């Protein structure tokens, strides 16, 4: 073997190793994003289901439903370092429907924001709360 062949083979192996490590890095980053997106969905649904259990008078009282909230989560973190911080806003507004029952419905919009490696992410859910909704069936 000549020295040129050896240098060429080492260069090819180096490029291949760099590609493999880059693939691992991308895979772990994708898994991290997937986990954070799933947790964001869980946080939003938890807030929505809690608010849906409030009675109609509580929904209509200004300040009863907090306008902002924060949630921290990382399943592998220690108690002192809880990882990703999700920041959310809750907006309850009158329904924009033009039907006769529009006064008995409120629109609920929950927006959640967080960042992963300085990349901002946002999720939003909009739903409705009815005067004669789920909260009337809770014993």
Q: Please answer whether residues 110 and 46 qualify as being in contact, where contact means their C-beta atoms are separated by less than 8 angstroms.
A: no
Residue 63 CB partners (closer than 8 Å, separation 6+): none
The pLDDT tens digits along the chain (139 residues) read 688 888 999 999 999 999 999 999 999 999 989 989 999 999 999 999 888 888 888 888 888 899 999 888 765 666 666 678 899 999 998 887 777 888 888 899 999 999 988 899 999 999 988 887 766 665 5
DSSP string of 25-60, one letter each residue: HHHHHHHHHHHHHHHHHHHHHHHHHHHHTS-HHHHH
Domain limits for position 47? 3-137
Task: Please count the structural domains in the chain.
Answer: 1
Q: Whole-prediction pTM value?
A: 0.75
């Amino acid at each position: 073997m000549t020295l040129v062949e050896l240098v060429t083979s080492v260069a090819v192996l180096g490029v291949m190793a760099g590609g493999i490590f880059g693939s691992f890095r991308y895979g772990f980053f994708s898994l991290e994003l997937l986990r954070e997106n799933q947790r964001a969905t869980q946080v939003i649904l938890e807030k929505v289901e809690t608010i849906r259990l409030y009675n109609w008078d509580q929904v209509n009282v200004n300040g009863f439903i907090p306008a902002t909230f924060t949630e921290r989560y990382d399943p592998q973190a220690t108690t002192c370092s809880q990882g990703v911080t999700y920041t959310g806003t809750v907006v309850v507004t009158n329904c924009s429907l033009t039907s006769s029952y529009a006064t008995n419905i409120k629109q609920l919009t929950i927006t959640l924001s967080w960042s992963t490696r300085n990349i901002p992410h946002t999720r939003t859910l909009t739903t409705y709360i009815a005067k004669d909704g789920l909260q009337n069936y809770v014993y």
